[in-house]
Structure 1
Amino acid sequence: TDKEVLNSFSQYYEKVTAFVGSLNAKYAQWKQEKADAEGLKQQVLEMTAEQFEDPYECALGNEDSEQLPLFQFLKKYVETDFETKYNAGMNKIEKLLAEEKFVEAKQVLSEAQNTVIEANSFAANLSERIKAKSGLALELYNIMSDMGYDVGDEIIDGNPDKGFRITCQAGDEIIDFNTVNIDEDGRVIVDIDHTEAVGGTCKNAWPKIVKKLREAGIPMTDVTKNGNSILYSQNVQGTKTNKQQRAKLN
């Protein structure tokens, strides 16, 4: 009878129903894990695509400064292992995704994401540092130009993060700011090589220069020659060539 047939199949129906329910649950879990992994991967890719403007051009007020993604920006100015770590992680991630090991892929993606977050923070600090150094050099350039010197500038090793050299000339007097930089502790570094005009004296020129620098916020406290203060000593006389004068700074 129909009833006997249905009773015979009921146990198989229950098993198939339970199997289908379990299969649907596992399929839903698979889809969620896949979506989570692919979503996190997209987030990481977008983070690496963040654009950084050229901080030197920005300091000069150039609105058309070059825009570079994260790792290209870092590579332009410094050597880091951020990109190497990131690429190694992404290669592993692609393999895990192809094998549909989405949970393991998310774990590696989280590590890659942390690498990118660290790299972005480093890049942002680097950008601000270069802007500060470029602004310092530009301020010094303008001050010396306003004081009547013919001024030339040079980026050390073509990298503004390494500082600037600014050469100032008036007649046969040359003031060579051969290092204009800011150290890791935020202290201004200005190394000076001064060739005076024949018959000139350091004591006459430097108080005016230092006053202008201080007014611009460049914290120069003294200029020394052979261990003696040019600004405050009463007996310092200039010679034709005074080499490697270093500004003592806050």
Structure 2
Amino acid sequence: MIGRIERIEVEPGVHLAVEVPQPSSKPVVMFSNSIGASMAMWDEVVSRISNQVRVLRYDTRGHGQSDVPAGPYTIEQLGNDALAILDALNIQRVVFCGLSLGGLMGLWIGANGGPRVAGLVLANTAPNFPPPSLWRERAATVRANGMAPLVAPTLDRWFTKSFQQHHPERTQELCKMIAATPVEGYAGCCEVLAASDLKPRLADISCPAQVICGVHDPSTPPARGEEIVAGIAGANMIVLDAAHISAVEAPEAFADVLAQFVSNAASITTS
């Protein structure tokens, strides 16, 4: 389902795997992943929206097919990675759609990316992820023991039991995706979540913003989405029947929200 992949250098010696959008006049949506996920986490949404937008997916540094530089990483590095991809592809303007860690990146890009950002879709995310000790301990645990012990608890945070029971094949694919995440990449991004607090920057975001939450999400419940809405002027929020990875568990509703938002953002930015 993933299209043509290019390896794009985002800083000297660091290349990220990028699904390059096809040439057209349609708006570009740039998708950014959760920690522990590859760009394949967007398959369900992309299959429903690819006829309406140009899809730009990439693997976060340390994840999927991207390079795994030594950590710790910073939110500034991850945000600049995304901007470097846009520069390399000569793409001037995108709707940025990020989930969890990808949503945190979206907040940074919204505050720092200026006219590059036509709009933000911020799914299952928050401006900070306390306590920092949780993420530092998880980074240390992964470096000591590998990813295998994290697969089952991560899956239970990401998806409801109902989803896991009714979609066993997709659940197995996602288990393999989590397990295959490079240890240093996962740990480096844990340190991003430990150190980042973008709450003071929410007021600097002036582009349209759509927040998506999952009613069953134990990691970033709707109350965390309300924090974003309170901080970004004009932001809206919708709650889907899903846990943390709503793009997989409620893809039809997610794709509908995204398509409508892209349509509205395009009309706003061109008027």
Structure with bigger strand share is 1
Name the larger-Rg structure: 1
TM-score by length of 2: 0.22
Higher relative contact order (CA 8 A, sep 6+): 2
Structure with bigger helix share is 1
TM-score by length of 1: 0.23
